[in-house]
Structure formats: structure tokens, C-alpha cells
Amino acid sequence: KTYNVGILGATGAVGREMLKVLGERNFPVNELRLLASERSVGKKVEFQGKEIEIKLACHDAFKGLDIVLGAASNAVAKEFKDDIVAAGAVFIDNSSAFRQDADVPLVVPEINGDDVFKNKGVISNPNCSTIITLMAVKGINRLSKIVAMNACTYQATSGAGAAGPVELMEQMEELDKEYKETGIIPNKGNVEAKVFAHQIAGNVIPMIGSLKDNGYTTEEMKMQNEGRKIMHLPDLKVTCTCVRVPVVRSHSIAVTVYTEDVLNVEDVKAQIAKEQNVKLYDEPENQVYPMPIVTSDQDITYVGRIRKDLIHDNGITLFCCGDQVRKGAATNAVQIALKLVGLDF
Ligand code: 2RA
């Protein structure tokens, strides 16, 4: 059986990666329809040896589609959701627009894949840093129920879209040219911070998303709210700090996981080594541990630095890393589609 597949937002970083992953995974595509805004209409993209012309995303652009992969903003996802569902397609949406809707499954296929079959036309793709973290800790949850997590993320600039790494590179050149000594570009410097609130080259910015009343950001609250839904742990407690770091691709997360039972490191390592699409990468004595330069452009999540938490006996601390454009967004969405049509992911 083959399927008519649409990509909404086909020209952005995630949309382009979805196209790449559909090809890599040999998803059974009959027709591929690439939809984007006016400025991209008419451009041609190559897919499986054929040239495909980008069409305008509009209300009747979805007729005849079976699956629509959403790689656009919340606003665009909301604008077209009803048209997509009315056309009889399943909308696998990477935006955060519907993630907390009760009738919308929020899915990481390796964790709660069967939830895809509860969809009523929309399935949401979780946030990138949440996906990578939960992939790393899902094995621990199998050994003993996770009751709490404390996470710090180190998020790549590409998480802010294609313009993120461009701003990073421009600033690194500027630093190298003019500000080697201090590593600080003065406010009136030639490269104004546009994508990020401050200089990101040679800096870290502890603010991703918008601030909520409780002092956390929208990005930080996703780790708790999405974690609860995906792991089916409604009482899960999460404290999270999300930080933007001068990295092009791959999010890294330092996380301490508190479980019902006391676990030992060896059992945790053995379980993580068995987990699907996870790589135990943990020989610090040989400088072997997860890093963005190791994980980028791959779909697996690397886990290392596994050790007992020194505060609570029920705690395990680890460091994980994964490519957030792929597993954190595009690949996870294609895996949801594969699960939906009964194919291995
Ligand atoms: C970020 N997770 O990294 C957010 C959205 N992709 O900016």
C-alpha cells in the first residue's frame, strides 16, 4: 500500500529534514505534496529521483492526502488543521499547538507508540529537548517508575531555525576578527543579536521560550507537561532549566532521575544498552561520553556519564545528547507515520 503524503512548511529546516528522512526510510509514498508560503511557490525539490514543485499552502491544498507532516509554526498549524482533518488526512504536527489537547496523542514511538491509534485526525510531535531526554531515561522507567526529574538542557542554535547557526557563525567570525581578547561583541558591534536576545557566540543564554508566572519558561515547562503525557506518568515532577549554547546541531541534557526504587548503575547501564534507538556511550575514563560532535545527523540518542545521584539514594544522574532536527523533530514525525501505517520505525 502507498500513501499520499504532504509536508506543510516544506522549505524550513525541519521540513527539509522530513523530506530527507522519508527517503532514507523508504516510506511508501505515492504522491508527495510540498506545501509552503507564497514566497516558495514554484521552487523545485528533488525526491527519489523526481523533481517536485512546491505548491501554495491554502485551505484546499490537502484534498486526497493520507498523511500531512506539519513543519510550520503554531499559527499555520492552527490555520490548516481543520482542512487537513476534513480532507481525511492524519496531521502529524511538529508545532506545539495541539500537544496538550486531550484527544491528540503526543508520541515518541519507542515509548508510547500505540497511542498513535487513538488519534482523531491529529497526532502531535513532542518538543525536541523533551524527546531526547525521554529517549535517554525510558530504560530507567522500565526498571523502576520515575517519580521526578531535574534537567538542564544545552540546546543547539538550530533549535531556533535555520537562522540560528547563521547568527552563531557570523558572531564567531566577528569575534575572531575584532574581539579575540574579550570574546565579547560590544552592543554596537556589527552583528546585532537578532535570533537570540544576546550574543550567542562564546556565551550561554539561560532563556528559551517565554517566561511564565512561576518563573519557568514555556520551553522548560514542556519537559514536565509533555513528559507526563508521553510517559503516562501524570504525577511526574520535573524541574528544568533550558539553556541556549553555541552549538550548531544536537541538544544535550544533564538529567537526574528519581525512581520509586533504589537502582544501581550497572543495572541501569545494562537496561539502557538494550533500549531501541539508544546508544550507551559511557567510558569517561577514556573520554567517551555523548557530545554534539558525536551525535549530529543521526537518529539515535547517546547516553553517558551514568552515576548515582549524591543527594538521594533513589537518584541516577546522566548526560545525553541527540540531533534535535532529526530525532528531536523530523525523524520522530516520520517514525510516527511509519507506526501509523504498521511499518517498522
Ligand atoms: C528550541 N526546542 O530549541 C525549541 C524549539 N525547537 O528552540
The predicted complex's ipTM stands at: 0.93
C-alpha to C-alpha distance for 53 and 157, rounded to whole angstroms: 29
Residue 180 contacts by C-beta under 8 Å, 6 or more apart in sequence?
A: none
Binding-site positions for substrate read: 155, 244
CB 275, CB 138: distance < 8 Å: yes
| Contact status, residue 106 vs residue 232, Cβ threshold 8 Å | no
Residues 6+ apart with CB under 8 A from 309: 256, 258, 315, 316, 317
Q: What confidence score (pLDDT) does residue 190 get? A: 60
pLDDT for res 251: 98
Radius of gyration, alpha carbons of the chain: 20
Per-residue confidence of the chain (345 residues) as pLDDT tens digits?
999 999 999 998 899 999 999 999 999 999 999 999 999 999 999 998 899 999 999 999 999 999 999 999 999 999 999 999 999 999 999 999 999 999 999 999 999 999 999 999 999 999 999 999 999 999 999 999 999 999 999 999 999 988 999 999 999 999 999 899 999 988 755 667 889 999 999 999 999 999 999 999 999 999 999 999 999 999 999 999 999 999 999 999 999 999 999 999 999 999 999 999 999 999 999 999 999 999 989 999 999 999 999 999 999 999 999 999 999 999 999 999 999 999 999
Interval between CA 324 and ligand 1 midpoint (Å)? 8
pLDDT at residue 192, as a whole number: 74
Distance (Å, rounded) from C-alpha 168 to C-alpha 286?
30
Q: What's the gap in Å between 67 CA and the centre of ligand 1?
A: 24
Identify which of 17, 124, 128 to mutate to test ligand 1's pocket (most ligand atoms within 8 A of the CB): 128
Which residue matches cell numbers 537570540?
A: 196
Residue 128 Cα to ligand 1 middle (Å)? 6
Active site residue 240: no
Q: Which residues are annotated as a binding site?
A: 11-14, 39-40, 99, 155, 158-159, 244, 324
Residue 152 phi, psi (nearest 5): -125, 125
What pLDDT, on the 0 to 100 scale, is given for residue 187?
A: 73
Nearest alpha-carbon partner for 131 in 94, 162, 161? 94
pTM: 0.96
pLDDT at position 287, please?
A: 98
Q: Read out DSSP for 109-134? A: HHHHGGGGGG-SSEEEPPPHHHHHHH
Nearest ligand 1 atom to the CA of 164 is 7
174 CB contacts (<8 Å, ≥6 apart)? Answer: 185, 189, 190, 191, 201
